[in-house]
């Protein structure tokens, strides 16, 4: 759920509440668009500075414990008690945050409601409520000792999947699903294990139908319009594929990351914090690993940091290396605000006498795609490894290629000359398979006009229609039900009362999830009551004082007072 989508769909009643706040009101009068106002850190810094204490406490709890994940009020209240904040404080604080356009309530069609901070606002709130650490140290390029270039596994696996679809006739089942025999063969070719992509918790129904590592590439291929689901066959969208292969590696990974932002959600709030902080860093600036891990530790964010970094590196979204002192460093490699105007890499591969072809990372995916006709992909580590064989040559010749085209292609993209033994073997294989070639597949039939588009993917919360924005800000009657029948002196000032009245006040505080202010001649303190228990000596009050669960008897204080945050600010029904 992004604020850019929300601003287009805010109900008028909620919008009127939001635009009353400063500086939003003044900026709108100056002609600034609401979408720009609601994505400005200056806007939220001003709103934060003007907040009531309980609103500040509430947004800190939400950001630290939930990040941008949906939560329920009861979960927020439970966390609050452990920090010495009352349920009433976060209830009223949440209402205030909603009226400021910071937190939004969503209701599923069947009636359940939840709250969330828009995902694109999380980096901003990191800076406002979680940024107590010094500025992170940036490493200059000249101080970088080495860069550990890793393969882009997501692009490699996407290409392997697409190549399988091209070379094999994938007839769908009656339910228009990929048959198991194809699933097993595809999974065997992919370069990652079941656990590798699990760092995300994807939503699409593909994740139910197919193994996770396969469903990931299906979803990407589908959203990039590289495949189509026909009435009975899964095929390639060849024109889109050709355009895709002409893109640079940076453009490819940039587009894939945009899809991940839309479709996939991290497994936990900790992972959301990690991604939000990472993407807010300066583009292509080097940072120390230890700065990032120290920031995580400061806010008790528990996550698999090194695993995350390795995965992002495999997706080409970060690069890792070492500085002159031997310290681990990294940099964020995506910049979605600017288009990439770069020359597609023209790297060359190495054809070895043992029939293996070594493909460095700078070889374009257009070249790799053509190479995969002539040679079998074995694996991709620091470099891609392919192998020439009689079977691979037969496959290429069966797909409208010729031996002459093979030799020209290899010579054009090979760093050194092709070994004579390899040229001789290719010529011999061509003679051997020449009389037993399979008929070429009818390529024109692969992309018929009569297709059925299938899109089962989760496309967000608001725009999918699964949720609707909720306007109803709680009133005083809802937060403090029955307040008209309670003596106002109970919350207007601290006083001494008869023990039975004190017990009534305690029960009322528990019902409203409010705070009690207790005092003696020498001390005043606040207390969030949880329950009252009768005993032989009278009664005992149990509850939270800061983060400690403690108990008091009525003789341990002299005056008592209900603390009702936001009482005068709440709307009266």
Tens digit of each residue's pLDDT, the chain (573 residues): 788 788 888 889 999 999 999 999 999 999 999 989 998 999 999 999 999 999 999 999 999 999 999 999 999 999 998 888 999 999 999 999 999 999 999 876 556 679 999 988 999 999 899 865 556 777 777 778 777 666 688 899 999 999 999 999 999 999 889 999 999 999 999 887 656 666 665 556 677 788 888 888 898 999 999 999 998 999 999 999 999 999 988 889 889 988 887 777 777 888 889 888 888 888 888 998 988 888 888 888 888 888 888 888 878 888 888 988 888 999 988 876 654 455 555 789 999 999 999 999 889 999 999 999 999 999 988 789 999 999 999 999 988 889 999 999 999 999 988 999 999 999 999 888 764 444 344 333 334 333 333 322 222 333 344 567 888 889 999 999 999 999 999 999 999 999 899 999 999 999 999 999 999 989 999 889 999 998 877 889 998 887 788 888 888 999 999 999 999 988 887
Hunting for tokens 């149990």 — which residue is that? 542
Give the 3-state secondary structure of 25-78: HHHHHCCCCHHHHCCCHHHHHHHHHCCCHHHHHHHHHHHHHHCCCCECHHHHHH
Beta carbons within 10 angstroms of residue 20's beta carbon:
11
Name the 3-class secondary structure at 404: helix
Distance (Å, rounded) from C-alpha 443 to C-alpha 437? Answer: 16
Distance (Å, rounded) from C-alpha 70 to C-alpha 481? Answer: 26
359 close to 384: Cβ distance less than 8 angstroms: yes
Q: Taking the chain, what is the end-to-end CA distance rounded to the nearest angstrom?
A: 31
Radius of gyration of the chain (CA): 31
Q: What is the pTM of this model?
A: 0.76
Distance (Å, rounded) from C-alpha 7 to C-alpha 267? Answer: 26
**CA angle, residues 141, 147, 153, in degrees to nearest 5:** 130
- In the β-sheet with 467-470, what is the strand arrangement from edge to edge? 113-116, 104-108, 467-470
Hunting for tokens 């668009």 — which residue is that? 33
Name the 3-class secondary structure at 266: strand
Closest CA to 320 of 125, 150, 534: 150
392 close to 356: Cβ distance less than 8 angstroms: no
CA–CA distance from 125 to each of 39, 44, 128, 186 (Å)? 11, 8, 5, 43
């Amino acid at each position: 759920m992004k604020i850019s989508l929300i601003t287009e769909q805010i109900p008028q009643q909620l919008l009127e509440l939001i635009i009353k706040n400063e500086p939003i009101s003044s900026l709108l009068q100056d002609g600034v668009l609401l979408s720009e106002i609601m994505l400005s850190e200056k806007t939220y810094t001003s709103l934060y500075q003007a907040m009531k204490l309980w609103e500040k406490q509430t947004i800190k709890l939400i950001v630290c414990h939930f990040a941008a994940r949906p939560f329920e009020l009861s979960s927020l209240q439970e966390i609050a008690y452990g920090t010495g904040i009352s349920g009433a404080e976060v209830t009223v604080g949440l209402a205030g945050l909603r009226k400021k356009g910071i937190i939004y309530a969503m209701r599923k069609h069947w009636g359940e409601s939840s709250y969330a901070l828009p995902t694109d606002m999380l980096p901003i709130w990191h800076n406002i409520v979680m940024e107590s650490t010094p500025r992170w140290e940036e490493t200059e390029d000249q101080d970088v000792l080495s860069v550990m270039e890793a393969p882009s596994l997501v692009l490699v696996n996407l290409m392997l999947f697409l190549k399988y679809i091209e070379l094999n006739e994938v007839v769908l089942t009656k339910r228009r699903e990929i048959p198991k025999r194809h699933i097993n063969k595809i999974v065997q070719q992919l370069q990652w294990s079941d656990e590798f992509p699990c760092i995300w918790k994807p939503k699409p129904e593909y994740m139910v139908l197919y193994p996770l590592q396969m469903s990931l590439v299906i979803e990407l291929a589908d959203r990039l319009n590289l495949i189509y689901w026909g009435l009975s066959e899964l095929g390639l969208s060849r024109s889109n594929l050709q355009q895709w292969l002409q893109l640079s590696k940076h453009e490819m990974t940039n587009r894939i990351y945009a899809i991940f932002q839309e479709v996939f959600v991290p497994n936990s709030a900790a992972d959301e914090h990690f991604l939000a902080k990472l993407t807010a860093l300066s583009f292509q600036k080097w940072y120390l690993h230890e700065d990032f891990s120290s920031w995580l530790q400061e806010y008790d964010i528990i996550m698999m940091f090194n695993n995350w970094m390795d995965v992002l590196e495999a997706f080409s979204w970060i690069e890792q290396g070492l500085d002159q002192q031997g310290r681990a460093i990294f940099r964020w490699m995506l910049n979605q605000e600017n288009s990439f105007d770069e020359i597609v890499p023209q790297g060359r591969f190495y054809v070895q006498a043992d029939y293996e072809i070594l493909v460095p990372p700078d070889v374009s995916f257009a070249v790799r795609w053509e190479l995969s006709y002539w040679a079998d992909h074995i694996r991709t580590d620091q470099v891609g490894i392919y192998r020439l064989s009689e079977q691979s040559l037969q496959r290429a010749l069966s797909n409208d290629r010729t031996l002459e085209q093979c030799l020209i292609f290899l010579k054009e993209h090979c760093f050194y000359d092709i070994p004579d033994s390899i040229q001789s073997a290719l010529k011999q294989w061509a003679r051997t398979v020449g009389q037993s070639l399979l008929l070429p597949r009818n390529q024109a039939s692969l992309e018929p006009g009569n297709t059925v588009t299938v899109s089962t993917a989760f496309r967000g919360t608001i725009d999918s229609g699964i949720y609707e924005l909720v306007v109803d800000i709680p009133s005083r009657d809802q937060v403090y039900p029955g307040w008209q029948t309670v003596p106002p002196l109970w919350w207007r000032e601290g006083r001494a009362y008869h023990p039975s009245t004190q017990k009534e006040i305690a029960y009322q505080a528990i019902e409203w999830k409010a705070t009690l202010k207790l005092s003696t001649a020498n001390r005043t303190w606040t207390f969030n009551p949880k329950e009252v228990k009768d005993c032989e000596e009278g009664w005992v009050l149990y509850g939270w004082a800061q983060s400690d669960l403690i108990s008091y008897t009525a003789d341990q204080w002299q005056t008592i007072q209900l603390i009702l945050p936001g009482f005068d600010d709440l709307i009266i029904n």
